A and B are shown apart, each in its own frame.
Chain A
Amino acid sequence: MSYIKPKFQHPNMPKNALGYTVGDYNGAISTLCAGCGHDSISAAIRNACFLSSIPPHRIAKLSGIGCSSKMPTYFLGRSHGFNSVHGRMPSVATGASLANRELTYIGISGDGDTASIGMGQFIHLIRRNVNMTYIVANNGCYGLTKGQDSATADLGAVSKAGNVNPFDGIDLASLAILQGASFVGRSFSGDKEQLEPLIRAAMAHKGFAFIDVVSPCVTFNNHSGSGKSYAETRKALDAMPLDFVPMREEIRTQYEPGTTQGVTLHDGSVIHLHKASNGYKTDDRNAALLSVQEARDEGRLLTGLLYLDPNTQNLAQNLKLASKPLNSLSKDELCPGSRMLDSINQGLR
């Protein structure tokens, strides 16, 4: 049973541009296992929405089924949410976004939910470029059904029961880049500094934004044999620090030339990548794929903003939808009336 957090807030809590405190973005108290990576992602989403000053009620949260898909209960209590069916959140989100293109959509899924039962819908969601942020809380296992391997479990990973996984894991970030997702990032639930700006940038992006977040399952998959445990992930992390500057804020500091890449998003906000060594470029799909794969071959996990095309055309644009949300059209805008029907009848005689 989840319950609502106490409403009382300290009067001196910092407020965002809309006058909301971070508490206004809280959800119910989590019922996930203590220490579950998913809770850290919930906190990062909450903070990101607060920092980006998005009115909570203008966000819709959608999820599939799994421990991860329960997460939307635990953040943004003032937003509508939809815990749909296993692996099918992409279609529900697609329909929702067509009905009202003015809201911000956050989809939450698990690796089972996305990489197995929902793989078809996931790929087609990318293909359609629905304007939303899609976060996979990736723990390499099925948490809610008690620890079976998922399709993202690494080759050779040992499950809690001691079984060695004989199959290569599906790399969702590579897949998303390959299928043409216009925003692909990867992060780690424990890396707040990287995850929060990444989520903020994803929400500011005007197309499909995918973030693969490694999120250890403390109950079934946080031991030395698993590739998605806290210790293993930290060891393998190859992280680009990020920061995100929303368009409302003036950009004061310029980072040292040669160490930073700044990318301006469609709404004018900017995401900065701090990566000195190999000058990672976010706008080169092939290079991005190569970097991810090279890191993978070396047993490292490349994280950060992996690929971005800020000028993408999203589904609503491709379908040439009028600007007024479809769910707010009046009868007069929708119904052609009796005279039109008479002329249709006439054509059928």
Chain B
Amino acid sequence: MKQIKGVNDFVVKFANVNGSGSASANHLFAKAIFRMGIPVSPRNIFPSNIQGLPTWYEVRVSAKGYLGRRGGVDIMCCVNPQSMEADVASVEPGGYFLYDSTKPLAPHLQRDDISYFGVPLTEMCMREYPNPRLQQLLKNVVYVGAMAALLDIKFSILKDLLGDQFKGKEKLISSNVHALEMGYHYAMDHFKCPLPIHLKAGGNAAPHIQESEHILMNGNTAAALGAIYGGATVAAWYPITPSTSVVDAFAQYAERMRIDPGSGKKNFAIVQAEDELAAIGMVVGASWNGARAFTATSGPGLSLMSEFLGLAYFAEVPVVLIDVQRSGPSTGMPTRSQQSDILAAAYASHGDTKQVLLFPATPRECFDMTVQAFDLAEQLQTPVILMSDLDLGMNDWMSPPLEWDDSYQMDRGKVLDAEGLDKAARWGRYLDVDGDGICYRTLPGAHPDKGAYFTRGSSKNEMAVYSESGEDYVQNMDRLLRKFETAKSYVPAPKTHDPIPVSKPKTKLKLGALFFGTSASPAYEAVEMMAEDGYPIDTMRIRAFPFHESLDAFIHAHDLVFVIEQNRDGQMRRLIINECEIPPGKLRPILNYSGTPITARSIADEIRNALGAKSAEVVALHSEPV
């Protein structure tokens, strides 16, 4: 049998039962690889359930630093009999399968093109540990020990990590180390270790990653820190997976970093609202009154927040909303990842509205863009929505460290205080003095007799006096559009990469690829796969809406542009078609909406299909996704 070979480049998957305590053992495994200086990205694939259903943990190891999903599984570690049949089937030919051999493997689970490693996990733990809870919990640690031997993880690193995790709890440390050793020795004694695929510290890992001081963190924690550093003082929210941990992390950091030293009291307020309507209402009220405020939610919450997003757009109140996207409605697949709120967010609400969106692709960007969102919301006096997703928000990503420039000053935008009001020749809340569509706002309580106005939707004139005149309405709406134009130069510009050089290109077509957020990493990997096939593809990673001018130029400069995203309807593609002057046929949708994050292989396959199908004249494509 031909076995898969390779160093620092493979996919491991753990198949577990939800609620069995596997998460922390699996995390230990991934973190050890990270500590070896090898690029790694772990992903939880979990059901909307607290206990009992199958759950998986997929670990991508990539010397080149590709942190998206590759597709396929090289080594499966299966401790869930429920899912075993499918798990066996999912292993690549030549791959490896570790299982609990306390009971013999049923004949129908035996393939002759993969290698099996039976470790009697249950039996070992029953023998070793008196109580059922320990038997259950430490079983997870035993298989990590066995995997460590098979893949050549440095044992001392695992021990250090356990020491960090259970600091001060010596008994826990020693029982965990013991379990690790049990698994490790069993594998060493019974199998040929390491496997043909394994890890090597300082091996062929990407030099840029080794040198820097990377961190392992999830996007939600990073966004929460962004809110702390960005000066948020009010957080109002309603629990919903996968956004809950944003506010949990914000609360934890705030309790540490936002306590007034004199009184011991709080320089922040967190309110768990009665629903998402109230959550965003509180944000609107606090922002209107001059505090930096935010909320975090996911799809169903975004729907409920829609009315207030409209009011905030028209009344020009800053709002920061972190949307950690997931699949569909509450009874959709709430614990699965997607990028499917794009259109709902971009055009959120009644009337003619357009909202500012930011698309982070890494935890580092979740941090930076959350800070920036507070500045943008106040500069532009409008809602700013950070479009994260479950994959980015809840999974650990290897990321460059967070950086902070101490000279940063919050940009509170155009706000007139008492002095400013006294100096202003003529002030009207909606007077476009500077011609950029952004007017000067005032805060309640600032001046004894100037600057007060009545905030309302769109029935008003430039002086904020009630008006239902069509002329006033049109003037206001046109100014809001002008403001949206101004926003283009404020929001983060897209990132382009030079194409990977291809010596003998197989096509004369100029190919481009557009993507954003968590589609980026697998897209970059797919582009490299395509370059190896002889197809050079230029890339542009979109980072914000409104779109930068260079997006139009990028599309015009190519014959065919793939738009890679994770939803059924090609929402980003549609948004681009709506907002840019381009022939829709040029944009070819590459989609994944299965709930599990898109893989590099599936992207490359679809690109190959698209190119194979119509080779040279491929430009005349359907305008609708196929």
Contacts and interface: CB of A to CB of B under 8 A. Distances in A.
A2 B454 CA distance: 12
Interface in B295-326: 307-308, 311, 315
A335 B311 CA distance: 30
B406 A62 contact: no
Contacts of B401: 342, 345
B410 interface: yes
A72 B452 CA distance: 12
A344 B225 contact: yes
B206 to A, nearest CB: 17
Contact of B445 (A4, A80, A335): A80
Contacts of A31: 466
Contact of B274 (A3, A124, A344): A124
A149 to B, nearest CB: 24
A1 B229 contact: no
A204 to B, nearest CB: 18
A319 B465 contact: no
A336 B454 contact: no
Given A322-B260, A322-B265, A338 B274 contact: no
B573 to A, nearest CB: 33
A345 B402 contact: yes
A334 interface: yes
A102 B289 CA distance: 11
Given A100-B445, A348-B215, A94 B274 contact: no
Q: In the complex, which of the residues B265, B281, B307 has the most CB atoms of chain A within 10 Å of its own CB atom?
A: B281
Contact of A2 (B268, B275, B291, B465): B465
B403 interface: yes
Contacts of B35: 349
Contacts of B236: 91, 94-95
Interface string A91-121: 1111111111011000000000000000011
B433 interface: no
A341 interface: yes
A98 B456 contact: no
A223 B182 CA distance: 87
B288 A96 contact: yes
Interface string B252-296: 000001101001011111110111011111111111111101000
Contact of A82 (B285, B402, B448, B468): B285
B286 A340 contact: no
B454 A72 contact: yes
A334 B233 contact: yes
A169 B314 CA distance: 35
Given A80-B442, A99-B286, A326-B267, A57 B281 contact: no
B94 interface: no
Contacts of B282: 91-92, 94-95, 98
A106 B455 CA distance: 15
Contact of B444 (A79, A83, A84, A90): A79
Contact of B455 (A83, A93, A102, A345): A83
B285 A62 contact: yes
Contacts of A322: 260, 263, 265-267
B177 interface: no
A121 to B, nearest CB: 6
A4 to B, nearest CB: 8
Interface in B399-443: 401-406, 408-410, 442-443
Contacts of B229: 335-336, 341
A81 interface: yes
Contact of B216 (A88, A96, A98, A348): A348
A328 B456 CA distance: 24
A329 B274 contact: no
B293 A95 contact: yes
A323 interface: yes
A250 interface: no
Interface in A55-90: 55-58, 60, 62, 72-73, 77-85, 88, 90
Interface in A304-345: 316, 319-324, 326-329, 331, 333-338, 340-342, 344-345
A345 B215 CA distance: 6
A123 to B, nearest CB: 8
Interface range, B side: 35 or more
B109 to A, nearest CB: 39
Contacts of B315: 82
Nearest to A338: B404
Contacts of B102: none
B454 A81 contact: yes
Contacts of A328: 290
Given A80-B455, A81-B455, A337-B404, A100 B291 contact: yes
A235 B380 CA distance: 55
Nearest to A72: B454
B271 A78 contact: no
B233 A326 contact: yes
A84 B443 contact: no
A96 B265 contact: no
A80 B444 contact: yes
Contacts of B402: 341, 344-345
Contacts of A320: 265-266
A340 B444 contact: no
A58 B452 CA distance: 10
Contacts of B456: 82-83
A57 B452 contact: yes
Contacts of B409: 331
B217 interface: yes
Interface string B5-20: 0000000000000000
B358 to A, nearest CB: 20
A57 B283 contact: no
B454 A83 contact: yes
A57 to B, nearest CB: 5
Interface string B21-61: 00000000000000100000000000000000000000000
B234 interface: yes
B453 interface: yes
Given A3-B465, A333-B267, 17 more contacts: A1-B467, A1-B468, A55-B448, A57-B444, A60-B444, A60-B445, A90-B281, A91-B285, A92-B282, A324-B260, A326-B286, A327-B290, A328-B290, A329-B233, A336-B228, A337-B404, A341-B225
16 contacts: A1-B468, A81-B453, A82-B288, A94-B285, A95-B291, A96-B286, A98-B286, A100-B444, A124-B274, A124-B278, A319-B269, A322-B263, A322-B265, A324-B260, A331-B410, A336-B228
Interface of A: 1-4, 28, 31, 55-58, 60, 62, 72-73, 77-85, 88, 90-100, 102-103, 120-121, 124, 128, 316, 319-324, 326-329, 331, 333-338, 340-342, 344-345, 348-349
| 3 residue pairs, one from A and one from B, having the closest CB atoms | A91-B281, A95-B285, A99-B291
